Amino acid sequence: MNKTHTISILVQHKPGVLQRVSGLFTRRDFNIDSITVGATNQKNMARITITTKGNEEVLEQILKQLNKLIETIKVRELNPETTIRRELSLIKVKAPDEQTKSQIIQYVNIFRGNIVDITHKTIIVEITGTPQKIKALEKLLEPFGIKEISKTGTTAMLKGEN
């Protein structure tokens, strides 16, 4: 059965590592739904967070192959119940009049988002949260006319002392 998996990979922070990691997914016909990469508090290391859907057998093979990469320090699948997951989304919405702008702002406030740009015809909304929270706001904004969406990939961290 295909389900969503979040994989955290601690790697040496050097050129070519991301290409080798993504290549493993390509060779196994696994689509990457989101990917984020960034430096960590550990010198010369980066964390790659990948969200993908697939069955357990293929995922297990990918985890094993990731561990074999020379630049890999640590690989783990993050359990949704013990993980904080966040994304950031910028959403440009049609807002041709003051009444529409007011309604959009109300929705954004309910979701604790921010208005980062307003013009005569559009509003750009910034929202950070779980993928579900972001999807919920997108659904509310759809009737106004979404012109454009730009999202980061998922970033994740284990809860507590882990």
Q: Are residues 50 and 73 in the same domain?
A: yes
Q: Do 150 and 91 belong together in one domain?
A: yes
- Letter string b/e over residues 121-135, b meaning 16 or more CB atoms within 10 A of that residue's CB: ebbbbebbbebebbe
The enclosing domain of 149 has a CATH number of 3.30.70.1150
For 114-150, what is each residue's pLDDT tens digit?
999 999 999 999 999 999 999 999 999 999 999 999 9
Identify whether residues 110 and 74 lie together within a single domain. no
pTM of the model as a whole: 0.83
- The domain tally of the chain equals 2
**162 residue type, one letter:** N
Segment 61-94, tens digit of pLDDT:
889 999 999 999 999 999 989 999 999 999 999 9
Identity of the residue numbered 5 = H
Verify that 20 and 51 share a domain, yes or no.
Answer: yes
CATH of the domain at 22: 3.30.70.260
